[in-house]
Amino acid sequence: MRILHTSDWHLGRAFHGCDRLADQEQVLSGLAELVGERGIDVVAVSGDVFDRALPNAETVRVYDRVLASLGAAGARIVVISGNHDSAPRLGTTRRFAAAGGLHLHTDVETCSVPTVLADEHGPVAFYGLPYLEPETARLTLGVDSGGGHAGVLGVAMDAVRRDLSARPPGTRSVVLAHAFVLPPRVRESDIDTSASERSLAVGGVQTAPSPLFDGVDYVALGHLHGCQQPDPARPWLRYAGSPLAYSFSEVHQRKSVLLVELDGTGLAGVERIELPVPRRLRVVTAELPALLGEPRYAEFEQDYLQVLLTDAQRPLDSMRRLQARFPYAVAVEWRPAGAPPPPRLAPTRRRVEDDLTTAAHFVEWVRNSRPSRVEHELLSAAFAASRTREAAG
């Protein structure tokens, strides 16, 4: 059986105010071509299908078209809800959808009730563990409080293993889960996380140890946006990552899906397939005049850009000027070269200084240069005008 593992589509997510729905549809429509070319039997989507609980109408239409194209290409589809999805909304009509080959696993209650599909070797049980919000899931699962995410996932996986052990010998198993999985004795900071993942921390602990997932043939994980194998000792545990980059912290990631092959005995291989990039994300560091004028920066003109300006003084109106050449410049920061970070304005100054001196200090602090003579006169006139107005009552 060939399974295409993907996750964290985040349909409808904007990027620094830019609509990316067309890019999302382009990349996800490409998955249908992969299904046809590579003979994929099942597409597994491990949560965060939508970016928000209430996606808008056009976003829902894209979701519908993508699923239809995957189905038309010949794949069954298994989906779980992530922490961004509304589980009841994503799971609505699931009993009817299953008849058409779309298997929606969004309920805590049915964690251990698999979708069973078959190939020439026999049955494959797909268990869907949607994102389990610890405080509500523990009531359903009968878990004591305080165990956090690991506590509820552990109980859910015990139920999965119990169900699996009662199935015909030779039944192979795949678990879809939306969780932050860490190997034993590894810290969160050692894992490739991204700025676009919403923390799962509830009560301080958001991670779950990898041994929780032992005893099945493959675990299709969602939540982390970088494609990775979280535990080198457990090659059946994988994150496919998001199909597009959703933050500048992901500029170095190559977005992918995983082609998982099961043979008659279990996991036979995992192949990483890189996805096309509709528009690159890049970070460029330079002074504003160079960026605006030098031919060597032409290669950045069609990219989503984070610009780090190194000018000694903060340039005026930098974003508007940058966008004249780089229409997809979406973030700009001023980091003067060689300069220490600007000192904090001393709060005590305000009491001993006159308004004009305080304002001049502020300009210097923001821009790294004192007000010019003309600016000084302008500030002085502004304070005089405001005092006149106050006096007039």
Q: Buried b vs exposed e over 15-53: b needs ≥16 C-beta within 10 Å?
A: beeeebbebbbebbebbbebbeeeebbbbbbbbbbbbee
Among 4, 8, 230, 307, binds Mn ion (CB under 5 A): 8
Residue placing its CB nearer to Mn ion in the complex, 44 or 359? 44
Nearby residues of 176 by Cβ (< 8 Å), 6 or more positions away: 44, 45, 46, 47, 78, 79, 80, 105, 126, 127, 128, 129, 219, 220, 222
Q: Which is nearer to Mn ion, 48 or 217 (CB)?
A: 48
Whichever of 153 and 288 has its CB closer to Mn ion, that residue is 153
Q: How far is the CB of 9 from Mn ion (least distance, A)?
A: 9
Give the nearer residue to Mn ion in terms of CB position, either 8 or 217. Answer: 8
Residue 140, judged by CB atoms within 10 A of its CB (0-12, 13-18, 19+), counts as middle
> Residue 287 region, left (φ>0) first, then alpha (ψ -120 to 50), else beta?
beta
Q: In this chain, which stretch among 1-9, 113-121, 279-287, 344-352 interacts with Mn ion, using CB under 5 A?
A: 1-9
Of 8-16, 340-348, 356-364, 374-382, the segment contacting Mn ion by CB under 5 A is 8-16
Q: Which stretch binds Mn ion (CB under 5 A): 41-49, 110-118, 180-188, 251-259?
A: 41-49
Choosing from 25, 48, 303, 311, the residue that interacts with Mn ion (CB under 5 A) is 48
Stretch that binds Mn ion, among 6-14, 72-80, 210-218, 284-292 (CB under 5 A): 6-14
Cβ closer to Mn ion: 83 or 112?
A: 83
Q: Which two tokens stand for residue 382?
A: 């502004």
Residues 259 and 38 sit within 8 Å (Cβ to Cβ): yes
Q: Which residues pair with residue 256 across a beta bridge?
A: 274
**Closest CB 134 distance from Mn ion, rounded Å:** 18
Q: Which residue is closest to Mn ion by CB?
A: 48
How far is 392 from 381, CA to CA, in rounded Å? Answer: 16
Nearest distance from residue 246's CB to Mn ion, in Å?
Answer: 8
Least CB distance from residue 46 to Mn ion, whole Å?
9
Q: Binding residues for Mn ion, how many (CB under 5 A)? A: 2
Distance from C-alpha of 281 to C-alpha of 284, rounded to nearest angstrom: 10
**Nearest to Mn ion of 7, 318 (CB atom):** 7
Minimum gap (Å) between residue 30 Cβ and Mn ion? 20
Q: Which stretch binds Mn ion (CB under 5 A): 48-56, 259-267, 323-331, 361-369?
A: 48-56
Listed in order, strand segments (DSSP E) in 47-171 are: 76-80, 102-105, 115-119, 122-129
* 8 vs 25, beta carbon nearer Mn ion: 8
Question: Facing residues of 261 across strands?
Answer: 2, 269
Question: Which residue's CB is nearer to Mn ion, number 38 or number 198?
Answer: 198
Minimum Å gap between C-beta 225 and Mn ion is 6
* Shorter beta-carbon distance to Mn ion: residue 231 or 250: 250
Span interacting with Mn ion, options 3-11, 58-66, 164-172, 338-346, rule CB under 5 A:
3-11
Q: Kindly state the smallest distance separating residue 352's Cβ from Mn ion, in Å.
A: 51
What x/- string results for residues 174 through 213 when contact with Mn ion is judged by CB under 5 A? ----------------------------------------
For residue 58, give the amino acid letter. Answer: E
Task: Give the whole-angstrom CA distance, residue 229 versus residue 386.
Answer: 62
Give 237's strand partners: 219
Q: What is the DSSP code (8-state) at residue 83?
A: S
Q: Which of 293, 285, 329 is nearest to 311 (CA)?
A: 285
Residue 339: CB atoms within 10 A of its CB come to 10
Q: Which is nearer to Mn ion, 8 or 231 (CB)?
A: 8
CB of 283 to Mn ion, least distance (A): 22
Contact segment (CB under 5 A) with Mn ion among 43-51, 213-221, 314-322, 352-360 equals 43-51
Alpha-carbon distances of 354 from 15, 244, 358, 382, 385, rounded to whole Å: 43, 52, 6, 14, 15
Residues at the contact surface with Mn ion, assessed by CB under 5 A: 8, 48
